[in-house]
Structure 1
Amino acid sequence: MMLVRAMMHGWHLDIVSPNKQPLLQTIKSYDFAAMVPMQVQHSLKELHRVKKIIVGGAPVSAVLEKQLQEVPSKVFATYGMTETITHVAIRKLNNKTETEIKIKAYEALPGVTFEVDSRNCLVIHAPAISKKKINTNDVVVLLSKTQFQWLGRADFVINSGGHKVYPEQVEQVLALVIDVPYFISSIPDKSLGEKVILIIEGNKDAFPEIEYLGLHPYEKPKEIYFVKSFSYTTTGKINREETKKKIATLEGF
């Protein structure tokens, strides 16, 4: 997409090797750059050389968002998918007003509108991209036709004791106290139906006790499982299903 943007707007484009510290490969300053969260995390000291940055490919953790408040660049999280070709909404990650800090909402790009289906999943109307509406599996709170709050994936939602728990939201909070790969999942429970669990990559003996500050009682993990090494997708994301199978084999659930 950066090639398309450059051709459309007549930009001069510098190409560097795709690694976690792209800005260390150049000494120039830039008007615009696109990165994934991992690259932003490892480039914090160099971000001042870019005026505007969009971040996509994975959710931005609460820790990273907090660190970005000290960055002078304008940084935005993007929302999009393969079907939309590019992002269709953005959310400010720094330089925010009090209202923007409170609601953490994505704003539609010009010409894009939203609605929700019966599952409260986002439906995208982007006539310039597709004549048909684009259905997603992302559960949202629709604030207006052009604004929404992202909660998480419908296929990850946990129903624990009648409460809907969105793993991605819990993970955002835990990012403040866990600095190794982890994710929230669930296992069957006779009382709750589904029990929230925390799965951490690493050794139990080397891990300190976790304080679940900022979580509702039904969001707090009831069990913690440690896995020596997670399974990952070809794009570097945690493969939740395959990693959970490793635990199921050992624990028998």
Structure 2
Amino acid sequence: MVAALPGGRELGVLRGWEVGAAVAVGTSGSAGEPKVVLLSAAALVASAESTHARLGGPGTWLLALPTTHIAGLQVLVRSLVAGTEPGLMDLATGFRASGFATAARPVLARPGPHYTALVPTQLARLVATEGPGLAAIREFDAVLIGGAATPPSLLARARDAGVRVVTTYGMSETSGGCVYDGVPLDGVRVRLAADRRIELAGPVLALGYQHGEPFGEWFRTGDLGRFTDDGRLEVVGRADDVIISGGENVSPTEVERVLAAQPGVHEVCVVGIPDQEWGQVVAAAVVPDDLGSPPDPDALGAAVRDAVGRYAMPKRVVFLPELPVRGPGKVDRRVVARSFE
């Protein structure tokens, strides 16, 4: 069996347990070197069927993501399972609200539920201003958001605008999103290890990595989590992103949530940068609403101090016109860190 990968690479001949793979998906490399995930048809279909069950039944999907990533690929799988033809958005020139509206028009004209899947950056562009893009996305019965952490302020803005947003958590190794709005899909199990790592199990799990051992019953992610009082899973960041400053562990995600809620902040990414005295210091790259009139760095630091603690206050703040991204819209933290050099 041979499967094509982005960039013209090939898997070659699969061996042993790998022959059950229907699809090979390259990861983004957020936890190191990119890997190739091998997914069975059964896992992909289980994910699609569970998604439809959660959302209210099969419907027509609009594909607005590259199919080289699991989120885009799953739009096609869900369409096959539903027996419907997906709408296709032309992404050759990038994602634009006007292009989304044009692609959505024939999808919304068909009977039954209407769905799409986006990354946070795309959602932000659609809800930034009143226009055809916002009008179109309001008409969808569910808009799945995943691929990267979604700022609470963006979720609130989208929902206030009438967008039926469903946050998803998952990865290529789980056939895409497998936890919706903090609740696992049918058949998916979630637990937290002693070190707070999120572990996942269920019929959506991949076979394993190419040239690696098959996955066992549970897949150990690189993400840290906790359960809210009502039992929902909350992702608090990646284990390898934790900043150790002066002996204190700082969660970048926790700091980002505080900063993203401040007036004048459009997007933010928090990283740790080397420091001779502290080992690492907290640094924040902020995309302001108005680059010509950014928020006061001291006010941003005070907000973090009050909400998290003095140890988590950013020692460095830089204002950028936009955050660098990779893959399906994930912020590239390594590039962000280099902006402080």
**What TM-score do you get using the length of structure 1 for normalisation?**
0.77
Give the % identical residues: 23
- Would the aligned equivalents of 2:197 and 2:224 in 1 still touch at CA under 8 Å? yes
1:198 maps to 284
Matches within 5 A, 1:72-151: 72-91=162-181, 106-130=182-206, 132=216, 133-142=218-227, 147-151=232-236
Q: In the alignment, is residue 55 of structure 1 matched against residue 141 of structure 2? A: no
Once the two structures are TM-superposed, the CA of residue 166 in structure 1 deviates from its matched residue by 1.1
Q: 1:7 aligns with which of 56, 80, 90?
A: 80
Paired residues in the alignment total 233
Q: In the alignment, is residue 64 of structure 1 matched against residue 147 of structure 2? A: no
Once the two structures are TM-superposed, the CA of residue 190 in structure 1 deviates from its matched residue by 5.7
Residues 128 and 27 of structure 1: is their aligned pair in 2 closer, same or farther, counting only changes over 3 Å?
Answer: closer
1:172 maps to 257
Following the alignment from structure 1 to structure 2, what is the Cα–Cα distance between the partners of residues 48 and 230? 26
Letter in 2 for 1:209: D
**Greater CA deviation, 184-193 or 49-58?**
184-193
Once the two structures are TM-superposed, the CA of residue 32 in structure 1 deviates from its matched residue by 1.4
Following the alignment from structure 2 to structure 1, what is the Cα–Cα distance between the partners of residues 139 and 118? 14
Q: Please give the secondary structure, in 1, of the residue aligned with 2:256.
A: helix
- Would the aligned equivalents of 1:115 and 1:142 in 2 still touch at CA under 8 Å? no
**What TM-score do you get using the length of structure 2 for normalisation?**
0.59
Decide which structure has greater helix share: 2
Q: Please give the secondary structure, in 2, of the residue aligned with 1:49.
A: coil
Following the alignment from structure 1 to structure 2, what is the Cα–Cα distance between the partners of residues 121 and 71? 34
Following the alignment from structure 1 to structure 2, what is the Cα–Cα distance between the partners of residues 165 and 83? 27
Q: 1:215 aligns with which of 274, 299, 307?
A: 307
Q: 1:187 aligns with which of 259, 263, 273?
A: 273
Letter in 1 for 2:224: V
Q: In the alignment, is residue 239 of structure 1 matched against residue 332 of structure 2? A: yes
Matches within 5 A, 1:22-37: 22-25=99-102, 26-28=104-106, 29=108, 31-37=114-120
Flag the structure with more relative contact order, 1 or 2, with Cα contacts below 8 A and sequence separation at least 6: 2
Letter in 2 for 1:175: A
Consecutive unaligned residues in structure 2, runs of 5 or more: 1-73, 128-133, 207-214
- Would the aligned equivalents of 1:62 and 1:176 in 2 still touch at CA under 8 Å? yes
Residues 231 and 84 of structure 1: is their aligned pair in 2 closer, same or farther, counting only changes over 3 Å?
Answer: same
Once the two structures are TM-superposed, the CA of residue 90 in structure 1 deviates from its matched residue by 0.9
Following the alignment from structure 2 to structure 1, what is the Cα–Cα distance between the partners of residues 161 and 317? 35
Residues 65 and 158 of structure 1: is their aligned pair in 2 closer, same or farther, counting only changes over 3 Å?
Answer: same
Q: Please give the secondary structure, in 1, of the residue aligned with 2:255.
A: helix
Following the alignment from structure 1 to structure 2, what is the Cα–Cα distance between the partners of residues 175 and 49? 27
- Would the aligned equivalents of 2:144 and 2:165 in 1 still touch at CA under 8 Å? yes
- Would the aligned equivalents of 1:53 and 1:73 in 2 still touch at CA under 8 Å? yes
Letter in 1 for 2:201: H
- Would the aligned equivalents of 2:268 and 2:285 in 1 still touch at CA under 8 Å? yes
The structure 1 segments of at least 4 consecutive aligned residues displaced by more than 6 Å after TM superposition are: 227-230
1:98 maps to none
- Would the aligned equivalents of 1:227 and 1:247 in 2 still touch at CA under 8 Å? no
